[in-house]
Structure 1
């Protein structure tokens, strides 16, 4: 099995475990601090993501690409320079932005978010910035070597530590108020990331081929060309990510102010935003661990193939990624749309927010495509084009959110439609950009077959849940219903030859079973 598929498979397994652990984490938070507490958590979180984007300035992707190319040439000295430069830049920026966030927290909470309670989660999460700065460099190094195992284990470890502490800390702070309980949940996140960093650094020290002493950073004197090379990839890349982070940063601000114009009080707006982004969106994002795994593996794999001018392999990787994204994302959309209400009831003890899933699920097939397409653009040195696409999508998203959410007839549903509109537009623009660079065949018949398979599976799943299993308990109905959809979906895509035998044979376990 190739490094690309092996790395993707490792990240997919780790991603699945991480997402499941993350769901347990969110369920604990939701049940302990409620919709309002989750709303405070989710309103503060985009600010953190924005600051981390400023600190990383796109270096993780640049490191992954540069290390992959250096490894292809067998240049160990170059790899050492890449790490020295990256660590110096990210640590310096984290020491600048961490105190800046702490100083600006009162202004952000009172003026921009219209809810002063967000101050406490913002202060609690600030120490995570330097931790993420260092761990992102080490992750990029391992990804560049196409060794996905350390990053995968670190993800699982982070979530495990977070879950172990979140209930304790949230419960300990809850008597002081919901805002302090949300801050406790943030502190658990910081400690989880710290555990992940300790593991990554330990593995790095064992696996590295060069010493980490004072002379490690002496190479900075002759590393201007390395810095320039990294920045030529990182700046356009961070431009794309920065646009996404800025968009996410402004999203809760625009939502809170537009809902205020629609006559919704600040406390109610926080609850509604918590339902959308803390309850519904995580469920919609759950399948993206597959596309995230593909994206992470695609950057070094396509960079290496492109550096070797192996255009046939580049197209092959692209077709593989898009097919996996379509088939896995399609199954997720069906399950989420059909069983939105019982899934929310089972996980959070209430069906509140299931309308958002029903509204957004059909559009999220584009979200599962977006990650691999953006990774391909970065690997092909088209990060600038990805940045422009992201900017256009972000402007449309924020505009739609404000235009619709400020209308009483739409309210918070306007925010959901705005997020969906931005997702669809960015994905379509990425696809058009890739199509200009790589000449590859679009199999229209396969997409038609996929739609037929998805519709038939949805109908069968709905009939079983509403007619055949009507007398069964909720958990039984849901598990059997999902199983029916999965079986029928696999049967249809196999019958339509959308799932190819060659793809299955590349996975060792399935290979052995077939043999």
Structure 2
């Protein structure tokens, strides 16, 4: 509940951040900002290496006397990952044509962001695994607060050209991450001193590396796939809309409203889903390690119930008050229509996030990746076909996205039920044993 409350504050701040960006950058620059953001997130995913997931899972499974050894090995792995990703970024980013229309400093922002993300991931992984999520919650609120204050300062006292304004907006994001790292490192040092003083046992480097990579590699593959498709999506959408007869500049503006407004509003309530994900991974991993299927069944039912309780009224509010909500960003914006049609997309994503935590916790990351692959392929095919129809355009794009979200959630759900010996109504199958 505390994590959800802090996440709610963070999401409120994120909403204000996007309101400021939408109003200060203008339609076209805001669309450019939203188009380059997936590329930055892709670099972040590579730097992160999903270490928070793998470290939290390993910490939850190990006795406290092994925590110090796990942390030392995790820091070594994070250093290797950061150095590798930075070298790749220095080599590849200058060759990407996507940066041609942007400020040259944006590439260096992405490169310098890598070590910040890598070492923050280690701290977050330990805190999640040790169930000290309150500090994670504080870090998330601190990040959003600093980013919002930075944007207000930049745009209140200075006037920039569009490319420089986008650079300054991304710089505010980078500086907020740096401040969060400073806070997390301080917390980390305090906890590491306490752990080091206690009696500790050593886990061999080969064993720790194997266990960390066994989760990090497939989970990173899943996140890389998501980030890559997210980075491709703006270009796919503008291409499909171009086939439908829409001018490229207008298509970019419409994508900015879709991603920057409709998505921001629709994913706002997902802070509860992400809080569930953070809490569920160590619980599910520990329970599955002990073969405690009663606990696994209980938390699966509870997470679905919580999602229904908050998801249903939220979706009804989006449907009934879309105009009022989207007018926070732009007056008479087409984003209100997008928000209404995206209702299934958001609702099924609220369910998919805690279900993905279950798949990770019980060691089915490969299944999660396959589900994402199938649902994304089908979604992209529908987006290209329906979005290219002059009669549908952006509505066709959204219909394709809806289908992908529904398919992904259903595949996650059926796989978990099969693994835990449950039927689709979450009752035990007659005579069935969990696999």
Per the TM superposition, whether the score is higher than 0.5 is yes
Superposed counterparts of 1:341-356, under 5 Å:
341-356=323-338
Superposed counterparts of 1:72-471, under 5 Å:
73-74=63-64, 76=65, 78-98=66-86, 100-101=88-89, 103-110=91-98, 116-117=101-102, 121-170=106-155, 174-175=159-160, 177-208=161-192, 209-211=194-196, 222-440=204-422, 442-443=424-425
Deviations, residues 85-111 of structure 1 (Å, cap 9, x unaligned)? 32222333223333543554454344x
> In structure 1, what is the Cα distance between the partners aligned to 2:116 and 2:190?
20
Partner of 1:68: 60
> In structure 2, what is the Cα distance between the partners aligned to 1:29 and 1:230?
38
8 Å CA contact retained: 1:121, 1:179: no
Match of 1:47 among 31, 39, 43: 39
Deviations, residues 263-309 of structure 1 (Å, cap 9, x unaligned)? 33332222111000001111000010001001110000111122222
SS of structure 2 residue aligned to 1:117: coil
Query: How far does residue 29 in structure 1 lie from its aligned partner after superposition?
Result: 0.8
Query: How far does residue 239 in structure 1 lie from its aligned partner after superposition?
Result: 2.2
Deviations, residues 56-108 of structure 1 (Å, cap 9, x unaligned)? 333221111100011xx33x2x3223222322223332233335435544543
Structure 2, gaps ≥5 residues long: 427-435
> In structure 2, what is the Cα distance between the partners aligned to 1:348 and 1:121?
27
> In structure 2, what is the Cα distance between the partners aligned to 1:262 and 1:104?
33
Deviations, residues 325-380 of structure 1 (Å, cap 9, x unaligned)? 12111111011111001111134444331111011113321110001000001101
8 Å CA contact retained: 2:285, 2:361: yes
Task: Tell me whether 1:26 sits opposite 2:18 in the alignment.
Answer: yes
8 Å CA contact retained: 1:48, 1:126: no
Deviations, residues 461-493 of structure 1 (Å, cap 9, x unaligned)? xxxxxxxxxxxxxxxxxxxxxxxxxxxxxxxxx
Structure 1, gaps ≥5 residues long: 1-8, 445-515
> In structure 2, what is the Cα distance between the partners aligned to 1:304 and 1:68?
6
> In structure 1, what is the Cα distance between the partners aligned to 2:413 and 2:109?
39
- Cα gap change, 1:88 to 1:263, in 2 (>3 Å): farther
Query: How far does residue 211 in structure 1 lie from its aligned partner after superposition?
Result: 4.7
SS of structure 2 residue aligned to 1:346: coil
Root mean square deviation of aligned Cα: 2.3
Match of 2:5 among 5, 13, 35: 13
- Cα gap change, 1:91 to 1:350, in 2 (>3 Å): farther
Partner of 1:462: none
Q: Could you tell me the TM-score, scaled by structure 2's length?
A: 0.90
SS of structure 2 residue aligned to 1:343: helix
Q: Could you tell me the TM-score, scaled by structure 1's length?
A: 0.77
Larger Rg: 1
